């Protein structure tokens, strides 16, 4: 079988380097690479995809949950496991929803970590029993709750721009109403279409209108 390539993502360089060395001793794992932050991790994954990424929960330039989401979008074949000193249940649920395949404490022994890497690489999900007991009810509540507002991801200003678009205003008219430049309106439009997962302004307007006749504003 092909060795399992692993990327360790942690801004604590001593921990990351030590884990790289230890995992490098395991048969069937390799190469083992290291990234010292979120931005560094994405650059490395885009240049050279890996099978499994071990990601810290909080780093100096971002969060593990945000990185999980980015990896799921840009490198979906990479399995991500969060390895953290803390286990905040809400963050665990957010990470799983974003695409993480597991959450481990940093105190875990390396033999156990290696087993989890193999299990996750095989397509399974791993959580400790106690953590699973806390996270599972929240996961169920999240998935069984009413459909979330698709516009909730937008900032206040982006929602204002979208409201103007729904009215049929041109970019110049939106800029005048909101007292911003045309370039600013263009930037907000690009951001909101990206966040909503659509490709055109028309699709964004259609999505906003599709929220129903009882919505007063986007």
Domains in the chain, please, with CATH? 4-144 (3.40.50.2300), 150-209 (1.10.10.10)
Local confidence band at 201 (pLDDT 50, 70, 90 cut-offs): confident
Half-sphere exposure of 178 (CA within 13 A, CB side): 25
For position 145, what pLDDT does the model report? 57
- List, as one string, the DSSP characters of 137-172: HHHHHHHHSPPPPGGGGS-HHHHHHHHHHHTT--HH
Span 72-113, pLDDT tens digits: 888 989 999 999 887 778 888 888 888 899 999 888 899 999
Q: Please say if the pLDDT value at position 217 is more than 50.
A: no
Local confidence band at 204 (pLDDT 50, 70, 90 cut-offs): confident
The percentage of residues in the chain with a pLDDT greater than 70, rounded to a whole number, is: 92
Q: Mean pLDDT, the chain, as a whole number?
A: 86
Span 10-23, pLDDT tens digits: 999 999 999 999 99
**CA–CA gap between residue 98 and residue 95 (Å, rounded):** 5
For position 132, what pLDDT does the model report? 80
For position 36, what pLDDT does the model report? 95
Residue with more model confidence, 168 or 9: 9
Q: Please say if the pLDDT value at position 211 is more than 80.
A: no
Region 194-218: mean pLDDT is 68
For position 13, what pLDDT does the model report? 94
**CA–CA gap between residue 42 and residue 72 (Å, rounded):** 11
Span 121-170, pLDDT tens digits: 998 988 887 788 888 887 777 666 555 667 778 888 888 899 899 888 88
């Amino acid at each position: 079988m092909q060795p399992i390539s692993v990327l360790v993502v942690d801004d604590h360089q001593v921990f990351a380097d030590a884990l790289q060395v230890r995992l490098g001793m395991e048969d069937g794992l390799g190469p083992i690479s290291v990234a010292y932050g979120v931005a560094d991790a994405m650059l490395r994954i885009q240049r050279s995809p890996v099978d499994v990424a071990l990601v810290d929960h909080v780093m100096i330039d971002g969060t593990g949950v945000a990185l999980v989401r980015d990896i799921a979008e840009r490198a979906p074949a990479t399995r991500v496991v969060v390895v953290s000193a803390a286990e905040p249940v809400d963050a665990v649920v957010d990470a799983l929803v974003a695409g993480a395949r597991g959450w481990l404490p940093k105190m875990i022994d390396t033999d156990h970590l290696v087993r989890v890497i193999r299990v996750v690489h095989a397509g399974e999900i791993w959580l400790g029993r106690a953590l699973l007991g806390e996270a599972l009810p929240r996961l169920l509540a999240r998935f069984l709750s009413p459909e979330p507002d698709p516009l909730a991801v937008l900032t206040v200003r982006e929602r204002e721009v979208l409201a103007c678009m729904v009215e049929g205003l041109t970019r110049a008219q939106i800029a005048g109403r909101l007292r911003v430049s045309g370039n600013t309106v263009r930037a907000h439009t690009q951001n909101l279409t990206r966040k909503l997962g659509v490709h055109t302004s028309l699709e964004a307007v259609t999505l906003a209108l599709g929220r129903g006749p009882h919505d007063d504003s986007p």
